[in-house]
A and B are shown apart, each in its own frame.
Chain A
Amino acid sequence: NAGVTQTPKFQVLKTGQSMTLQCAQDMNHEYMSWYRQDPGMGLRLIHYSVGAGITDQGEVPNGYNVSRSTTEDFPLRLLSAAPSQTSVYFCASSYSSPGSYYNEQFFGPGTRLTVL
């Protein structure tokens, strides 16, 4: 199993450009999420999905869109990049065990995004 994969690893954008960060998992996990990590801050939840066709906002959703058409893929779209979106972006996935509060989240290797 490849686990959680993310592309690209690095990206530089100009202000106003749009792009899509790709995330895929081959573990048949129902739950997927996107986080951003900034220096001096903890990881912050952007959007999440509890299954194909179902998405919801996290703590910092503004400026980002997501969709979940398949179990495997959960792309994150930056609509109009801003310097404040310079960050490291992590995708994560986990099982959805009913009644369990201890499902491990598996993270991808991250995408380092710089917006100029």
Chain B
Amino acid sequence: RKEVEQDPGPFNVPEGATVAFNCTYSNSASQSFFWYRQDCRKEPKLLMSVYSSGNEDGRFTAQLNRASQYISLLIRDSKLSDSATYLCVVNRPGAGSYQLTFGKGTKLSVIP
């Protein structure tokens, strides 16, 4: 099993749609979880951290299921500006949040 696995997509959705991304990780000892966003030919930027209790930031909701080693990201009311690649990121156990393992990313295209 790869360390961090994501559906590569692409996901093509109309404006206003709800879209969900899933991610699985292999090391049960991982302690920190993130979603980063990467626009085409740009650097990754933190979208949101994912906490055990789940968390929400506006139209974005992240969930963590430690038992299943599964992370999700839900985007409601999609905007054209949400078009990007979404990276699931997990820390290497024992390394704080310094050493991160990145998934390959899920590409989202929001269509007018």
Contact = CB atoms under 8 A, between A and B. Distances in A.
Contacts of B100: 43, 45, 105
Given A31-B98, A33-B98, A102-B32, A40 B104 contact: yes
Interface residues of B, number: 22
Given A100-B96, A101-B32, A105-B97, 17 more contacts: A33-B99, A42-B87, A42-B101, A42-B102, A42-B103, A43-B44, A45-B99, A58-B99, A94-B97, A96-B98, A102-B34, A102-B49, A103-B96, A103-B97, A104-B49, A105-B46, A110-B43
Interface residues of A, number: 25
B72 interface: no
Contacts, number: 57
Interface of A: 31, 33, 35, 40-45, 48, 50, 58, 90, 94, 96, 100-105, 107-110
Interface of B: 4, 31-32, 34, 42-46, 49, 87, 91, 96-105
